[in-house]
Structure 1
């Protein structure tokens, strides 16, 4: 366990995170901003860094306008990288040295956390745990690694196989073999002087931060992308959802278009509009009512179809609302409900402000990236495909008795 004295030492340090992200990937087009589990790939790494208790600034170095815009949207600061440092032969160390020289023009840097966007399989506390180990062991540099306890590696020399990590003529017992450590590329920590002295991210006293093997996959190919998506969904996102407890939920608010519908409208020649809704949502809303949780539809849409659907469901609707946040605040005051006890399920940019004001922002799978970035739960289905039914699963699983 980290002592209070050592922890306070981290807080006083000028610790920054640098994330290099160039646009010239050959294996996957636009790799750093490709969709990965509902967000641009680089967004996950930016968010990991921003959630650190110790990091004071998060910087993305890139030569790409597109990567810059995405990174800014998720909260990173940008250091524009010269094109000569963004070629296929450019090293990460060259980019890191350039970033340091630019930042040190206006602020001191004590410690650097170097993260790679293509290694997104981290838990929220991995960066802080790595920093704690770095400082507690008084290291000059650190890399994250996986310990391989039974790894039989061969190489070919002059056309002949040669065992490298073991003696195939004298295999011995598996448990007697010495472990090896696989540098996984997820987290590097070092002092700026180490990088300057060695032109390398590692030097001086080197320590490692242990991570399980499944966190060691990097995205360099479409196959890697699929593997990482599997572990992100089955290990990390599932854990976050399992830890998300719905405590004292008194109200669930539904946007209409893109939540209760698939965001499409059928327009007839006579001007009559119709939408498609999901029957399973009606069943789910009825079950939520039985739990004693209030529900309301809140939408900018003025079409009578909203009121018709609300009456069918037996819940109130607020339609034709231009300022959703003000309307929700007024509704909650009239019903004596705290905003902290409100779930808002939205999908579009006009939901952002109101979602940020409630205790539990939730969104469907196909919501805008900005909406996903503030949501505590991203559902497994897109709008109109049973959003309420899918959310009911989380209520049943996680709601705490009053």
Structure 2
């Protein structure tokens, strides 16, 4: 029985955005987002990432993709996507994989419409189309620069301006996915052949990242678009350890100072209960603070958890703490609120923010909590982590497919 194989080309080099395929949108690396979209598509049997980069390969494998090592001569700036796809298909054939339908996904499209992808696969499997691509409907009047850069109409008459409802739409290719018969693709050596179909996708998903501006736009859109994908799992965070900042997380980011200069803060008993629940479940917990303050150490002792203070390089301390315990960074949730937390948020599998966090922290987070710092944020995170652990156990008992793992550091 032939398989529907999704292949994601993801080379390590990129001139416009360094390490582009590992850049995060919604707290998740772009290549991981593509793997996750393919895994959520019920019509896809196998997910493969072809890459020349060891870091990308590690992320792909941890998210559940099979990896094909891409030769250097097929990973340069001039190498075509088609050449990478052909090589991957040949490699899979040597592994005794019979690819009947090829799904070509691009990691630079962070918001892949899984429903539209599923419908596209069905069109090809049923032989109604040989090749199908993602596109958005457009009624725009298109122009091009002609002789002397003078504007010339492309899809309309210059002296006719019909209303939208009186015009036929055109379709703009988004680049998110292409689905095709594998044998036909190998024969044509091109993604468009035979009877070509269009899979319409929602306009808000139609962004392809080639520039830093497009990357920032995707990050701004992620909280809205991901509500139907990554955000649907926001109620559970499956990790093996929790690390938090202190000020603005365990507290409301204010300090009370008496006439003698002694500082005090207000914390939540609910947060303390949440930490206790994590400890009872055997989940390691670390409070990581830039400052050295007796109140932080006192709170850590009260909670019975690890604490590291005076951490000028919080990310380095986090790496050291995780390494000592043999916990992959991809299996850690880090909760922060300000710019000194960005280094940690960018290396863990689950970057989490309080709702009143700095805008840069909010744009980096994979999950934004419902409760503010000092008002139940830590309890909120604890419950999601415990829900994630319960969900993994339930999934292992009810499904042959494992829960999508988290990204590598």
TM class by shorter chain equals 0.5 to 0.7
TM-score (norm 1): 0.67
1:184 to 171, 174, 193: 174
Q: Alignment partner of 2:159: what SS?
A: helix
Equivalence for 1:165: 155
Deviation at 1:308, TM superposition (A): 4.2
1:286 aligned onto 2:275:
no
Write the distance in 1 (CA, Å) between the matches of 2:135 and 2:39.
Answer: 22
Equivalence for 2:50: 61
2:335 to 364, 368, 381: 364
Equivalence for 2:317: none
Q: Deviations over 1:243-271 (max 9, x none)?
A: 7558xxxxxx984xx32548xxxxxxxxx
1:31 aligned onto 2:14:
no
Write the distance in 1 (CA, Å) between the matches of 2:76 and 2:124.
Answer: 32
Q: Alignment partner of 1:202: what SS?
A: coil
Q: Deviations over 1:289-328 (max 9, x none)?
A: 89x99745454779x989942686xxx64779xxxxxxxx
Check conservation: 2:116, 2:200, Cα contact below 8 A. no
Equivalence for 1:386: 373
Deviation at 1:362, TM superposition (A): 5.8
Q: Alignment partner of 1:119: what SS?
A: coil
Equivalence for 2:80: 91
Check conservation: 1:23, 1:63, Cα contact below 8 A. yes
Deviation at 1:28, TM superposition (A): 1.0
Deviation at 1:224, TM superposition (A): 0.7
Deviation at 1:202, TM superposition (A): 1.6
1:78 to 67, 83, 86: 67
Equivalence for 2:402: none
Greater RCO, CA 8 A, separation 6+:
2
Total equivalences in the alignment: 328
Quick one: structure 1 residues 287 and 300, their matched pair in 2 at CA, closer, same or farther if it must change by over 3 Å?
closer
1:154 to 143, 155, 171: 143
Write the distance in 2 (CA, Å) between the matches of 1:300 and 1:180.
Answer: 54
Check conservation: 1:363, 1:379, Cα contact below 8 A. no
Quick one: structure 1 residues 20 and 157, their matched pair in 2 at CA, closer, same or farther if it must change by over 3 Å?
same
Write the distance in 2 (CA, Å) between the matches of 1:203 and 1:95.
Answer: 18
**Superposition pairs of residues 132-281 of structure 1, within 5 angstroms:** 132-135=122-125, 138-148=128-138, 150-159=139-148, 160-237=150-227, 240-241=230-231, 244=234, 255=242, 258-259=243-244, 261=246, 278-280=250-252
Write the distance in 1 (CA, Å) between the matches of 2:327 and 2:27.
Answer: 17
Write the distance in 1 (CA, Å) between the matches of 2:62 and 2:173.
Answer: 31
Deviation at 1:179, TM superposition (A): 0.3
Quick one: structure 1 residues 283 and 171, their matched pair in 2 at CA, closer, same or farther if it must change by over 3 Å?
same
